[in-house]
Structure 1
Amino acid sequence: MAQLFGVIMLFLGSTAWAGNNIYTGWFSNKAVSGYDTVAYFTEHKAVKGKAKFKFKYMDAEWYFDSAENLKLFKNNPDKYRPQYGGFCAWAVAAKMQRAPGDPNYWKIVDGKLYLNYDNSVQQKWLKDIPGFIQKADENWPKMLDQ
């Protein structure tokens, strides 16, 4: 029963996004599951954001660890928000699907943040990052219309 619930939740979670194609999960409106997207660039690790440093952007709530990170994001959100709306970069590239991006499986490439679904998917993505980015960059605009 627990496995069935997990599969149902995965399906529901993978189809939920804010109005501007930002992955937020099914039962929340938190972008990047409430993780601080600026911290990936400044602290080089996944850091949970705090509700007191919350900001609404692109129909989603973005959480930050500090007032400084919130300010950095407000001044340049395109620099800090994840590619493909926070959906799994590999899934967008390989399957043209919106799979949830897990904030614990990430990589910054050429100054851009990419998330992956889990460790096994990230291992696939790491084998050809430039190829997957190129394919995902082609797929993502088509997916915005779906």
Structure 2
Amino acid sequence: MTAQRQERNGSRPRKGFRPGIALIDLLAGLVLVSLAAAGFSGSAARAATTERVVVNRFTGLAIEGYDPVAYFVDARPEIGLQDFEASQAGAVWRFRNEGNRASFVAHPEIYGPQFGGYDPVDLARGVTVAGNPRFFQIAGQRLYLFSREENRDSFAADAARVLREANARWPQLEQDLAQ
């Protein structure tokens, strides 16, 4: 509406106090005070990017709740169930059934994603990027997750080189994640 039409219609916005904006400001302030009282600060976001195992910072689930054993048994990602959970390495892992859960608990080093779920191609470049549970490959009886489909394809083309470089960089990157 033009200013003239607003004046004619009596709907021209008034300068000064605006109740809608004041309400939004009040609510935003209350949310910030509540979060501060609960002990939240900017560290919540940082914690998610400094974990040795990739964990969803809101749910605490490793690999977004996918069953790590299913990659080996079913050769595809399968969502785990809340009824079959285990805690390992500061993360909650979900499984499709009790047998998968028992296998993981007995051998987490085999069934858990290598490099804590970080993309080995990115690790080889010297950066930590969380892998996506839908982009995976099993190589040498180990599970690897990739941030992008292109990284998975690059890994498949020369896994030995990528793993050599990722293994060389991982100890320092893992140490940096712990800080």
> Which category describes the TM-score, using the shorter chain as reference length?
0.7 to 0.9
Which amino acid in structure 2 is aligned with residue 47 of structure 1? E
The partner residue of 1:79 within 110, 113, 120 is 110
Secondary structure (helix, strand or coil) at the match of 1:85 reads helix
Deviation by residue 1:48-74 (Cα, 9 ceiling, x = unmatched): 111111111010001101111000111
User: What is the RMSD computed on CA atoms of the aligned residues?
Assistant: 1.8
**In 2, distance between residues paired with 1:13 and 1:62?**
21
- Secondary structure, counterpart of 1:145 in structure 2: helix
Unaligned runs of 5+ in 1: 1-11
Structure 2: gaps spanning 5 or more residues = 1-44
| Inter-CA distance 126–109: structure 2 relative to 1 (3 Å threshold) | same
Whether 2:140 is the aligned partner of 1:110: answer: yes
Tell me whether 1:23 sits opposite 2:54 in the alignment.
Answer: yes
Question: What letter is aligned with 2:166?
Answer: A
2:150 — aligned with what?
A: 120
TM-score, structure 1 as length reference: 0.84
TM-score w.r.t. structure 2 length?
Answer: 0.69
SS at match of 1:121: helix
Structure 1 pair 14–89 and aligned structure 2 pair: CA distance change class (3 A): farther
Residue 175 (structure 2) aligns with:
145
Compute the displacement of 1:101 (Å): 0.5
Report whether the alignment pairs 1:63 with 2:94.
yes
Equivalent residues, number: 132
For the residue of structure 1 that corresponds to 2:49, the secondary structure is coil
Distance 1:108 1:56, change over 3 A: same
Q: Which contiguous aligned blocks of 4+ residues in structure 1 show a shift greater than 3 angstroms?
A: 12-15
